[in-house]
């Protein structure tokens, strides 16, 4: 995988994870350089979410190596890791009722001393995150009343307020309509291109998020089936190997890449 010089910010070596007695990750090697955007793709059940959780130190037992900024992820204290890595899970409505501002403020918890209130610096980080994600007008709203696209931006705002410069996102554009998909893609593009964030996103959005990525990791059954730039991925045989389905490629995608879509019999 292309590393843009210097030490990788994230790395795994021969990573294996078993859940319920089954191998879910079966020897995954990856490296993500500083400022790089990595897209992780693969069929349902391939182990993509498990890989993200492991990179965020949330998988207690694994074999092989997982390193964040050159240090084993298990060697970080939880709060310390949370200041470096922010994880946006496949989100849903939180069980408890929060206003948008209160939810984004929770992103600051890794920075707060026990029982202490937000400092001026915490407030500044929250305000900046609200501004970057363009949700300032929503701060007083209940999370339960938001549209899916609005809620996704709030989750990203909480991750940004957290202050880490490595962002892990699990299917950030799934379930969004087209306008909201584009908003999230533009936001991630800005964070990556202008903000210097290192971004790892699990996605099925081949023509959007994958086409924008610096590199792509294709997982199948917990193994790396593909690793390389989007241009090498956009090949009918490669896509078929990953997804077990035929694809049609036509000219006209982003960055001079083809557009890809699943082929259907009789179309």
Binding status of residue 91 toward ligand ADP by CB under 6 A: no
- Give the interface size with ligand ADP as a residue count (CB under 6 A): 11
Residue 47: contacted member of ligand ADP, Mg ion, none (CB under 5 to 8 Å, by partner type): ligand ADP
Cα–Cα distance measured from residue 55 to residue 52, given in angstroms and rounded to the nearest whole number: 5
The structure tokens listed for 24 are 């879910």
User: Bridge partners of 65?
Assistant: 13
Q: Which of 10, 11, 24, 260 binds ligand ADP (CB under 6 A)?
A: 24
* Total residues in contact with Mg ion, by rule CB under 5 A: 2
Looking at 14, 45, 75, 196, which residue binds ligand ADP (CB under 6 A)? Answer: 45
Instruction: Decide: is 99 part of the binding site for ligand ADP (CB under 6 A).
Output: no
CB-based burial label for 28 (10 Å; 0-12, 13-18, 19+): buried
Residue list 145-174, contact with Mg ion (CB under 5 A): none
Of residues 39 through 68, those in contact with Mg ion by CB under 5 A are 48-49
Site residues for ligand ADP, 204-223, by CB under 6 A, read: none
* Residue 92 near ligand ADP by CB under 6 A: no
Q: Judged by CB under 6 A, which of 13, 14, 19, 145 binds ligand ADP?
A: 19
Which does residue 24 touch among ligand ADP, Mg ion, none (CB within 5 to 8 A, set by kind)? ligand ADP
Binding site for ligand ADP (CB under 6 A): 19-20, 24, 42, 44-50
Binding site for Mg ion (CB under 5 A): 48-49
């Amino acid at each position: 995988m292309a590393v843009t010089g210097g030490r990788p910010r994230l790395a795994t070596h021969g990573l294996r994870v078993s859940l319920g007695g089954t191998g879910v990750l079966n020897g995954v090697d990856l490296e993500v350089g500083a400022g790089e955007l990595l897209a992780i793709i693969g069929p349902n059940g391939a182990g993509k979410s498990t890989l993200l959780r492991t990179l965020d130190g949330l998988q207690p037992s694994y074999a092989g190596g997982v390193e964040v900024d050159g240090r084993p992820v298990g060697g970080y204290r939880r709060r310390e890791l949370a200041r470096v890595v922010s994880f946006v899970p496949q989100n849903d409505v939180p069980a408890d009722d929060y206003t948008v501002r209160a939810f984004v403020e929770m992103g600051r918890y890794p920075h707060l001393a026990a029982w202490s209130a937000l400092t001026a610096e915490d407030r500044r980080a929250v305000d900046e995150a609200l501004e970057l994600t363009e949700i300032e007008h929503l701060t007083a709203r209940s999370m339960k009343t938001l549209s899916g696209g609005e809620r996704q931006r709030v989750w990203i705002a909480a991750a940004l307020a957290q202050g880490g410069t490595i962002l892990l996102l699990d299917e950030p554009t799934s379930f969004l309509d087209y306008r909201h998909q584009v908003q999230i893609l533009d936001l991630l593009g800005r964070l990556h291109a202008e903000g210097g964030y290192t971004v790892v996103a699990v996605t099925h959005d081949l023509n959007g998020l994958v086409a924008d990525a610096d590199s792509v990791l294709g997982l199948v059954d917990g193994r790396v089936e593909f690793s390389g730039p989007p241009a090498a991925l956009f090949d009918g045989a490669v896509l078929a190997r990953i997804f077990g389905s035929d694809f049609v490629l036509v000219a006209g995608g982003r960055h001079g890449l083809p557009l890809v879509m699943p082929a259907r019999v009789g179309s």
